[in-house]
Structure 1
Amino acid sequence: MSAVPSSATPSTGAAPWYAGLGDFLKGEADAWLFVLRVALSFFITGWLAMRMGLPQPGTAMMTTIIVMHRQSGMVLAKGFYRVLGTLVGAAAALAIVALFPQQREPFLLVMALWIGACAAGATLHRNFKSYAFVLAGYTAAIIALPVISTHPGQVFDSAVARISEVMLGLVVSAVISDTVLPVRLRDTLRAAVRGQYANFLEFVREAVQGELPRERMEQAHLRVVRDAVTLEDLRSSVIFEDPEARARSLHIQQFNQRFMAASTSFQSLHHLINRLMRMDNTDAAQSLVALYQPLGNALQSAASLAPEALATRIHAVHQALPDRAARLREGLADRAQAEDFEVGTGLLLRFTHELEAYVQARAQLLDRVVASDGVEQVHFVRGNDHVGAGLAFIRTTVTMLLLGAFWIATGWPMGANAMLLATIFSGLFATVPNAVRLTVRMSGGYLLGLVAGYACEFEVLTRLDGYALLVAGILPFFIVGPYLTTRPKLAALGLGYAMGFVSILALTNPMVFDPQHFFNDSLSQLTALAAALVSFMLLPSVAGSPWLRRRQMAALRAQVRLAAQGPLPGLRHRFESMNSDLVHQIVVHTTPGSEDSRRLLAWALAVNETGRALIHLRHDVAREPLPGPLHKQVDAAVAALADFFQQPSRHAWWRADQQLRQASDAAREEAGQRGVARQVLRHLRLVRLAMVDDHSVMATYIVATDPTLEELPRAH
């Protein structure tokens, strides 16, 4: 599995000055179409809210800002989870007010605990599921806080009004995004599926034919992780947009799981061959290269072949492998060389079987008729850190308690407003790295929005009458925010501007122009932003921090214990998806090409290779039990491996190596009598070759003798 030198790069000519003009114009057109959809949603929602006599049209209009997205599927997904969060938050508000209708102190305590719990829940989920937790906390506050001091009995009316306003904003946003020149998320999903499929097949073909630069081989695992997580994120959102995508959801999950399985097996095979070459076991390595050569020929022009035809080619290669391997094995006289060749043969058989299944899954996605019969039920399991959630709970709860105490002590009429906005920012930024910097950027945009709101409200709207003129007066100020969100570097500034502008405008019917209330409301909102900023400075978000990366690396290594001890049903899917999610969480906060990035990649490959070997070993033993003594030795080796990955040390490595040796010797003695012992020997041999590789991440732990003996005092 050789690779071409990294210097083999194609030459490129200078592009003409106008080459990027088309892309620029297309980008600008997409941005302004997005602004058009947001503006239509915003103003239609406001008009309907006023026509329906809702008490706070501004809340409905703010909803359109919060759920805005350039793709319709994302708007629908975000809206769905906002509905869930709103309903749960409304129920929580009713319950808390019912418990403490006239006692502000215990009410604020329980409310702070609820908001903190919602912020913690947000850190344990991805995408818009996280957003639903934020909304559950924010909705409870927006319903209960305004009425607790004056009219607690109106909490039910407040809940009905807020739910009605939010639902109106969601419905209008969904309809506009789905009908006015929509950008379909399903197109992005289909492109992601096509890209993953074509790129992986081409990667395998180039690798087995020695046409791939070495650095691309090293980075392939990170690309696999990114593609797997991206596809799952898209699938979980597109089901809200497209009925066909909903019907094919299980097929997409199965396609993604088979992709992860095949990529892991291929990487194990690639590293085994490189390892054998470094160990001067070149005969076995060259025999394996000759063994997989027909696979490279089968993948020629794979992108232009129908998946069914390609699956037939791969199946033929898989069927011919045992006979071809037997002939090649005859040329290996050395027992160790023959054993290493058998390890590679087993990996290649597994990989070709998984590659065929992956191609067949692609064929199922292309079928016109959607059939769920025979589709494996799989789930993408996430890897979470509950300590980070605990810190988010403490930070948010303390912030809410301090603001509540300030409200009670001062009797500030706008104290409830300050708590409301602090709830939003504390929840939204609990899951992001460097929350202080993002809060500063959002605050800058928010301040600009407040200034624009003042100019719009008191310099423009006071001179206009009627909804049509109101739209004309607000529109020039409003479109700045949505447009800025289309620019990645200015997205936080644009979102802050839009939220600040809409929040301070607080449109009502009839509109009331009160400069004193305006400045008090502005002060309360800036106080909330300052409180959120200080809370993130005193107790920073752990997302992306070195401390959390170390914990995530430990969790990644602990996946080997899951492979060694977890329940076998569904274990492979759970193992691979959790690995992908953990690696993705770490790599997005790691500098590409850095030492941390290389070490992450090395551990991820070691965990994948060892974990998959242990899972297959356990499955083989479950199908055909081993003799008692051999079973005990294999269990001891598996446990020692789990201990080493859980807490790497030289002593743990030495103990795992000793247990692997003993279990391998015992399995070798039984290999002639029991087929399962031969399979077990292959798995153990594969793991041990990785453990003794002095070019792997385990190299620093390799020792010749038990290091604990070196620490004992010498006899005189």
Structure 2
Amino acid sequence: MAASNIATRSLPTRDVVVETFREEAAAWLFVVKTLIAFFLTGWIAMRLELPSPSTAMLTTIIVANRQSGMVLAKSFYRAIGTLAGAVVAVGIVAFFPQQRDLFLLVLSLWIGVCAGGATLYRNFKSYAFVLGGYTAAIVAIPVIENPLGVFDSATARISEVLLGLLVSAAVSDVVFPSRMRDVLRRTARDQFAHFVAFIRDSTGGAIPREAMEKAHLRFVRNAVMLEDLRSSVIFEDAEARARSNHLRLFNQRFMATSTTFHSVHHLINRLQRARRDTAASTLIRLYAPIGRALDAPIEAGAAARVLLPRLATARDDMRASAPALRASLDDAQDLRDFDTGATLLLRFVDELHDYVDAAATLQAPRVIAGSAERVRFDRGNDFLGAGIATARTTLTMLVLGAFWIASAWPMGASAMLLATVFAGLFASTPNPSRVTWIVMLGYLSGMTAAFVCEFFVLTQLDGYGLMVAGVTPFLAVGLVMMMTPSLASYGLGWAMGFAYVLALKNLQTYDPAHFINDAIAQVIGLGAAAISFLVIPPAIGSAWLRRRQLARLRAQVALAAEAPLPGLRHRFESVNHDLVSQVVAQTQPGSADSRTLIAWALAVHETGRALIELRHDMSRQGVPSTLRPYLEAALRTLARFYENPDATGYLLARDAVATAIASVGEHEGTSYLLDHLHLVRMALLDGESVLAAYMPDVPLAKEVAHAS
């Protein structure tokens, strides 16, 4: 692999100063826009005489984000969750108007289900679940003594939340908007440019295993990041919505091409390690036209269509030169290796051409909506982990509800509301107990600031304009901290605690006793959420969940071997990438867990994709009935081995693949199957892969930690 020598040099002082000021300006612009949304929402809510303007104002803080697309995405899903929660709250009150125990039991269960649902998503869809639980609580709990008021309560809460969402979206989109579509375009172009450059630089030979692993992680992050950005930008930009399916297709082709790319270089690496230099060098010569085709002045923003005719020519050259290169070999094993590699390379150049074609379509001035193949990005969710979050949150709500009933605590509703918010909001974070404690400290600070503001500042002021002047310095402190990465959680707690306990309304009441009692209840609710994360630890970030995710990743080979073929390639690639990205986010880079994950991911990608292609060829061209049992046995034993890897399963899989290869050799007209089987067998015999742990008399590779 050709290495690029990039000189490391310091940025000029002027550039550092400019970049610093740019970052500071962006942070303060966020603060100003959030303050505008906060106070404009409050003014409108008071003019409309909504019962709780502070609910609408708090909404603007929760959905605040630098990027307009992010605000719109959060607002959209928050609106869905609000409407769903209000409907459920009305239903719960209607079914249990006089039965407080059953009322709290069903409400707690609903809140728990919403918290569990929030853990299944790693984008703003989780907000819909969080708000579904929270809204049900804020609608139903205040009317527990007056069931007939539930409809008015639901109408008021929906009006307040939707007002906050609409104002936040309008301010974010009108006042110096920062467009996510620009980030999305830059990300897609960078992905294309870096991938093309990596392929071009790799055509000179094998890629070291460490470089391959780093490249694989980068490709995984790029694919998942692009899908997350796409799912947010469609709310911001009509053109992004029109290109949404084209972008999904572009991403799916990127994943498929990168998987085949890894298989090509794993094969070349294995041949060189086995001293089969003739076959390896012949494949590198067959590979060469791709490098020449990509050797064009393509920058991140340049049109991909420049590469299309060059790749088409390279593909024709490779197909024309393959017979002559094969004829230059006389060893039977070299011929078999070359045939396997040539099949991979021709598939790779086809997929690379399709990927570049998708990039060219995206870079075109106009695209026709609906003209691209419809594909999906499937996620690798763990429903047992979501079940743990459901159980934890339900139990927390039941304990608080039981204490409320038993003690007749007047502020019990406030405690339950805060516990509902934070139990759902942080259920999907890797270390929710730590985050919740930090937020709680910020919340306490925010409530202290609210006490000073309400009883020492606002009592001296009259009118909405002066109220804005009095509140702004206190709230701005929290918003500034939200823009500081090391203080973001603390700042969120400060801003939410300040806005929630201040509870601005048309007729502001100044009752220190009620203020302190309400603050105590809110702290107890927050503390209950934090304690619940300690009593029932979350699955996210735990070694238990990583083992489950690794098992799910290995089970992808069974999916490739046994699942229905329609849409299987897309499903296999997207779930693989999502699972790897989850575990990478939860492991220390360079740790044994991280290396194990990468090693298994490479093995799963290569073997699973080979099995999918084998099954497609079996389906398209048909297989003699006498041969099919051997192929099905190979598929079955490979699936079982990857699901539960052990030495016995390894031997069964290795022997089943060898038997299938021998059986194919006895049937004329089925040689097209050998390439896939031979690739799988080479992967099984790779002494440097994670499978080395299960080989007889083969020591574990240095860089691979064993995990069962």
Q: TM-score, normalised by structure 2?
A: 0.96
CA deviation vs aligned residue, 1:119-157 (integer Å, no higher than 9, x gap): 1111112211111001000000000001102x1110000
Q: How does 1:52-451 map to 2 (within 5 A)?
A: 52-149=48-145, 151-209=146-204, 215-304=210-299, 306-372=303-369, 374-451=371-448
TM-aligned CA deviation for residue 434 of structure 1 = 1.1
Return the offset for 1:19. Answer: 4.7
Contact 1:201 1:302 in 2 (8 A): no
Rounded Cα–Cα distance in structure 2 between residues aligned with 1:10 and 1:202: 14
| Aligned equivalents of 2:399, 2:213: Cα separation in 1 | 50
- Alpha carbons 1:3, 1:213 under 8 Å: kept: no
Return the match for 2:675 from 679, 682, 698.
682
Whether 1:549 aligns to 2:540 is no
Shift of 1:274: 0.1
- Which of 497, 501, 504 is 1:500 aligned to? 497
Distance 1:71 1:301, change over 3 A: same
CA–CA separation in structure 1 for the residues paired with 2:335 and 2:130: 59
* TM-fit CA distance, 1:316: 1.3
Given the superposition, is the C-alpha separation of residues 400 and 471 from structure 1 closer, same or farther in structure 2, using an over 3 Å criterion?
A: same
Contact 1:667 1:681 in 2 (8 A): yes
2: distance between equivalents of 1:209 and 1:363?
Answer: 26
1:522 matched to 2:515? The reply is no
Matched, 1:611 2:604: no
Pairs within 5 Å for 1:602-641: 602-641=599-638
State the match for 1:573 in structure 2: 570
Q: Contact conserved, 1:63 with 1:166, CA < 8 A, in 2?
A: yes
Displacement of 1:334: 1.3
Alignment pair present for 1:44 and 2:29: no
In the TM superposition, residue 440 of structure 1 has moved relative to its aligned partner by 1.1
| Matched AA of 2:378 | V
The number of aligned residues is 696
What is the deviation of 1:483? 1.2
Are the equivalent residues in 1 in contact too, given 2:70–2:232 (CA < 8 A)? yes
DSSP 3-state at the match of 1:430: coil
* RMSD (Å), alpha carbons: 1.5
Alpha carbons of structure 1 residues 592 and 500: separation in structure 2 relative to 1, 3 Å: same
Aligned amino acid, residue 230 of structure 1: M
Whole-angstrom distance in 1 between the partners of 2:348 and 2:73: 36
Contact 1:97 1:155 in 2 (8 A): yes
Distance in 2, Cα, partners of 1:12 & 1:188: 25
Corresponding residue SS for 1:31: helix
In structure 2, what is the Cα distance between the partners aligned to 1:214 and 1:120?
A: 39
Superposed CA offset, 1:373-399 (max 9, x none): 551110000001111011101100000
Q: CA deviation at 1:216?
A: 3.3
Given the superposition, is the C-alpha separation of residues 363 and 384 from structure 1 closer, same or farther in structure 2, using an over 3 Å criterion? same
Q: Is 117-126 or 137-146 further displaced after alignment?
A: 117-126
**Structure 2 alignment gaps of length 5 or more:** 699-708
Q: Distance in 2 between matches of 1:529 and 1:679?
A: 63
**Retained in 1: the 8 A contact 2:249–2:373?**
yes
The 1-side partners of 2:52 and 2:370 are apart by 50
What are structure 1's unaligned runs of at least 5 residues?
Answer: 706-716
Look up the SS of the partner of 2:367 in the other structure. coil
* d(CA) in 2 for partners of 1:517, 1:31: 35
Cα deviation for residue 332 of structure 1 reads 1.5
Give me the whole-angstrom Cα distance separating, in 1, the residues matched to 2:370 and 2:510: 63
Asked whether the 8 Å contact 1:302–1:310 carries over to 2, the reply is no
Letter in 1 for 2:58: M
Question: Do 2:207 and 2:265's aligned partners in 1 also have CA atoms closer than 8 Å?
Answer: no
Give the distance between the partners of 2:569 and 2:206, measured in 1 at CA. 31
Contact kept? 1:209, 1:293, Cα under 8 Å: yes
TM-score under structure 1 length normalisation? 0.95
Structure-2 change in CA distance of 1:302 and 1:664 (3 Å): farther
* C-alpha distance 593-394 of structure 1, shift in aligned 2 (>3 A): same
Counterparts of 1:115 and 1:13 in 2: how far apart (Å)?
53
Structure 2 residue aligned with 1:601: 598
Match of 1:696 among 689, 692, 696: 689
**Equivalent position amino acid for 2:129 in 1:** F
1:19 and 1:362 mapped to 2: Cα distance?
32
User: 1:323 Cα deviation (Å)?
Assistant: 2.4
Q: Provide the rounded CA distance (Å) in 2 between the counterparts of 1:605 and 1:23.
A: 39
Letter of the structure 2 residue corresponding to residue 35 of structure 1: V
User: Cα deviations across residues 533-591 of structure 1 (Å, max 9, x unaligned)?
Assistant: 11111111111111100100000000000001111110000000000000000001111
Q: State the AA in 1 paired with 2:225.
A: T
1:359 Cα offset (Å): 0.6
Q: Deviations over 1:477-523 (max 9, x none)?
A: 01111111111111101100000000000011111111011000000
Paired residue type of 1:189: L
Cα offset, 1:597, TM superposition: 1.4
What SS does the aligned partner of 2:538 have? Answer: coil
Q: What percent of counterpart residues are identical?
A: 55
**Counterpart Cα distance in 2 of 1:11 and 1:199:** 18
1:360-379 per-residue CA deviation (whole Å, 9 max, x = no partner) reads 10111122232145511100
Alpha-carbon shift at residue 669 of structure 1 (Å)? 2.1
